[in-house]
Structure 1
């Protein structure tokens, strides 16, 4: 069901239509009971400006803190009480794969955006997406959201992420120093801010493709003015042979599992066929 924002009233202190409304404290307790359900929060935001403001100030923040507590604690550890681009944008980034449209940022294919069931964000993985002299920056990056069999493009992976304190990061300073150009038309799907191309600025390290299990020359990502990252890659196949035995396929899956959780492994490890102990 699509709900259109009404924005009938801002509910100022003198506004009569606040009479009978629930207080912020009661609404907080209701959504706490709902475990900060994002669909319910989004629905409430569409009712009016007062509810939308409450959702942006309180409810999306609690949603983020509940879904990724350690990550949120780290992002706020510099003393800030908010995050770049607002909590609603961060909440959307946690649960939404933006996909791409033809003629957009990644104009070769069309993959509709969609909500994801579960995503792991990793600060350790984020180091692989930074040039060596920028690795004191903090970047959280998700595992790729896999979209298989995309015609000539093969298996496509979309990933997303967020910088901590992007305004003072070395990556931002380098982008400015290199006079990187903002994209003329496209904006961040999470906060609507302008985007820098890391590929155009020649700031995509080889370690990023290894971390993603992707072809080195088929990875591209952008960072917006608020520090949100979104990118695309062409994933390496698990096997060169379509007639691999069940035993060998089990070995390959096990190695890929090791890449996902233990990394960093080199991309060549994906093709290894050495016998491995069975996973229990």
Structure 2
């Protein structure tokens, strides 16, 4: 249901919006017919502030609900409001692998970010990435997005996730109690919030590498103030027989 709230366009006299906007109900029906196409929502958001506001408030929310209905229902249950106002960021997290820039979060890795057609998020897998004392927290995490044959780095997997009610989670409390420091320069690629390194905080359990199929047990991930998580791992290389089966 649409919220009856109006936004004023503050653009110049040349902005087409001075001639009036479509009604929110009309936009809702148009994008519903388009099955909440994220690319078109992003394009429309660039038109003006009014369109950007309705996209953040309505369209990205509907996109998330349509793309992952059970996950969204759980994230909003029991009075949780951790995604209110962050639907755009969550929508991007559902469909975008951030990759890595050289000298950024993951040091020497340089792999461009890209959109992902479809990703599975698992609450069960999320528990494997949490310390035993934090496993009452709820974390949805994606399967690793594979980037194979990255030279000396081997096969790399990027994964991402979202905490339910991160503001009251055990993970956040432990990070604060440990005096964990924010990353000095990098911010969350989804919402621009500050990031904690779970590796530096020594809060990555051994079960994480097992769940992700990590080679040499290399797993690193970060969590932002809004509960978005992004990480990287080295993937186990395929044996010759497995490679033959895949190629067949």
- TM-score normalised by the chain length of structure 2: 0.90
How many angstroms apart in 1 are the aligned matches of 2:164 and 2:174?
16
1:179-225 superposed Cα distances (whole Å, 9 cap, x missing partner): 11000000000000000000000000111111110025311000000
How many angstroms apart in 2 are the aligned matches of 1:80 and 1:134?
18
Q: How does 1:181-220 map to 2 (within 5 A)?
A: 181-220=181-220
Unaligned runs of 5+ in 2: 1-7
Task: Using the TM superposition, give the Cα deviation of residue 18 of structure 1 relative to its aligned residue in structure 2, in angstroms.
Answer: 5.2
- 1:89 aligns with 89
Task: Using the TM superposition, give the Cα deviation of residue 82 of structure 1 relative to its aligned residue in structure 2, in angstroms.
Answer: 6.0
- 2:144 aligns with 144
How many angstroms apart in 1 are the aligned matches of 2:233 and 2:53?
36
How many angstroms apart in 1 are the aligned matches of 2:121 and 2:207?
17
Q: CA RMSD in A?
A: 1.9
Structure 1 pair 136–81 and aligned structure 2 pair: CA distance change class (3 A) = closer
Query: In structure 2, the residue corresponding to 1:130 is in which secondary structure?
Result: coil
Q: How does 1:8-27 map to 2 (within 5 A)?
A: 9-10=9-10, 17=17, 19-27=19-27
How many angstroms apart in 1 are the aligned matches of 2:158 and 2:237?
16
Task: Using the TM superposition, give the Cα deviation of residue 238 of structure 1 relative to its aligned residue in structure 2, in angstroms.
Answer: 2.3
Query: In structure 1, the residue corresponding to 2:91 is in which secondary structure?
Result: helix
- 2:168 aligns with 168
Task: Using the TM superposition, give the Cα deviation of residue 48 of structure 1 relative to its aligned residue in structure 2, in angstroms.
Answer: 0.6
Query: In structure 1, the residue corresponding to 2:207 is in which secondary structure?
Result: helix
Cα contact 1:119–1:143 (8 A) shared by 2: yes
- TM-score normalised by the chain length of structure 1: 0.80
Task: Using the TM superposition, give the Cα deviation of residue 165 of structure 1 relative to its aligned residue in structure 2, in angstroms.
Answer: 0.5
Structure 1 pair 85–171 and aligned structure 2 pair: CA distance change class (3 A) = farther
Structure 1 pair 245–142 and aligned structure 2 pair: CA distance change class (3 A) = closer
Task: Using the TM superposition, give the Cα deviation of residue 17 of structure 1 relative to its aligned residue in structure 2, in angstroms.
Answer: 4.6
1:40-86 superposed Cα distances (whole Å, 9 cap, x missing partner): 10011001111000000000000000000000000000224561660
- 2:221 aligns with 221
Query: In structure 1, the residue corresponding to 2:41 is in which secondary structure?
Result: helix
Q: Which runs of 4+ in 1 moved over 6 A?
A: none
Cα contact 1:85–1:226 (8 A) shared by 2: no
Cα contact 2:82–2:226 (8 A) shared by 1: no
Query: In structure 2, the residue corresponding to 1:159 is in which secondary structure?
Result: strand
